[in-house]
């Protein structure tokens, strides 16, 4: 073997590898982008509905949902209030529509909202829900071609709720889920196996609640709490919602502690779905976090 021939060949291979690295397609180099939306709003209800012992009213609260554009596919986290409430709030939500001051307009419809960032429901590859309550699982049925990701316990809690815990579940919201592709979790998930989109099992608010943690290039760590936390104040002061907003107090406290730990260790940005101040300060779609 003549090594004088091999050496130049080896350096050629190195140069080729270098050029190969620069020639990666743009999509492979892009990190995920996070888009923040609200599905209408709630308002004019007692704060005590969100926090035991609270006084006064919540004047306005968002119903946040999120789109994450990842190079390997579009992910939605939570799905807002069923679009049927745009024309029939009382029929679909019953007394809760007035009770929570539900406001939905035709501009809140899922297809109209996704169009703001150039998407249709069929473009969404994965729909993950923090849980299946009416303001989070409301539109899962619009994503028939997506894979729905929830904790296995949550499907059971929604379809066959324990006595006293049915109030926030509307069977029509998730009727389609029996015909959908699903990932039924009993734990955590690193969705793309790259650490950028992770789900953490977090019972407490409901039996099968989960929250999402994103790693974004410029923003850093972002925690999308769904209803694992209702408001920043609840997390900071360790204050729980009343039944049926707390299925298990001891688990809810553990979930609070887990979220605070990630927040503090990673200096994470919190996206708490019903927190008015956080939502007002956040960039809203079509603006995004990357």
Q: Across the chain, where does the E strand assignment appear?
A: 33-42, 45-46, 57-58, 61-70, 73-77, 124-128, 147-151, 181-185, 189-190, 197-201, 210-216, 220-224, 269-271
Provide, rounded to whole angstroms, the least separation between the CB of residue 244 and Zn ion: 9
Would you say 227 or 275 has its CB closer to Zn ion?
227
Exposure string of 250-280, with b = 16+ CB inside 10 Å and e = fewer, is ebbeebbebbbebbeeeebbbbbbbbbebbe
Choice between 32 and 138, CB closer to Zn ion: 138
Residue 273, phi then psi, degrees to nearest 5 = -55, -35
Is residue 274 close enough to count as binding Zn ion by CB under 5 A? no
Residues 70-89 touching Zn ion, rule: CB under 5 A, are: none
Residue 79: CB minimum distance to Zn ion, A: 13
Greatest Cα pair distance, the chain, in angstroms, is 86
Based on CB atoms, which residue is closest to Zn ion, 83 or 227?
227
CB contact at 8 A, 235 and 260: yes
Torsion angles phi and psi, residue 140, rounded to 5? -55, -30
By rule CB under 5 A, what string of x and - marks binding of each residue 195-214 to Zn ion? --------------------
Q: By C-beta, is 70 or 133 nearer to Zn ion?
A: 133
Identify residues 218-247 at the interface with Zn ion (CB under 5 A).
227
Nearer to Zn ion, 32 or 245 (CB): 245
Q: Which listed residue (133, 201, 269, 274) binds Zn ion by CB under 5 A?
A: 133
What six digits make up the tokens of 26?
A: 């743009």
Task: Give me the least distance between CB of 273 and Zn ion, in Å please.
Answer: 9
CB of 19 to Zn ion, least distance (A): 52
Report the interface residues with Zn ion, using CB under 5 A. 133, 227
């Amino acid at each position: 073997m003549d090594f004088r021939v091999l050496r130049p060949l080896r350096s050629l291979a190195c140069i080729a590898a270098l050029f190969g690295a620069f020639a990666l397609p743009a999509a492979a180099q892009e990190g995920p982008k996070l888009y923040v939306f609200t599905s209408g709003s709630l308002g004019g209800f007692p704060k005590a509905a969100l926090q035991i012992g609270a006084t006064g009213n919540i004047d306005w609260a968002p119903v946040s949902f999120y789109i994450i554009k990842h190079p390997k596919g579009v992910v939605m986290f939570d799905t807002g209030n069923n679009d049927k409430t745009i024309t029939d709030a009382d029929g679909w939500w019953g007394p809760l529509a007035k009770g929570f001051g539900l406001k939905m307009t035709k501009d809140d419809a899922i297809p109209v909202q996704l169009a703001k960032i150039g998407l249709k429901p069929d473009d969404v590859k994965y729909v993950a829900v923090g849980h299946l309550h009416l303001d989070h699982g409301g539109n899962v049925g619009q994503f028939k071609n997506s894979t729905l990701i929830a904790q296995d316990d949550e499907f059971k809690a929604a379809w066959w709720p324990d006595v006293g815990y049915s109030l926030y579940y509307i069977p029509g919201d998730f009727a389609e889920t029996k015909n959908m592709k699903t990932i039924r979790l009993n734990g955590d998930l690193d969705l793309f196996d790259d650490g950028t989109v992770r789900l953490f099992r977090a019972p407490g608010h409901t039996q099968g609640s989960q929250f999402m943690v994103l790693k974004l290039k410029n923003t850093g760590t972002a925690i999308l709490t769904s209803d694992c936390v209702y408001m920043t104040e609840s997390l900071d002061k360790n204050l729980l919602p009343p039944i049926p907003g707390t299925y298990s107090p001891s688990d809810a406290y553990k979930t609070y502690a887990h979220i605070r730990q990630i927040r503090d260790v990673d200096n994470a940005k919190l996206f708490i779905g019903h927190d008015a101040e956080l939502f007002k300060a956040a960039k809203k779609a079509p603006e995004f976090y990357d």
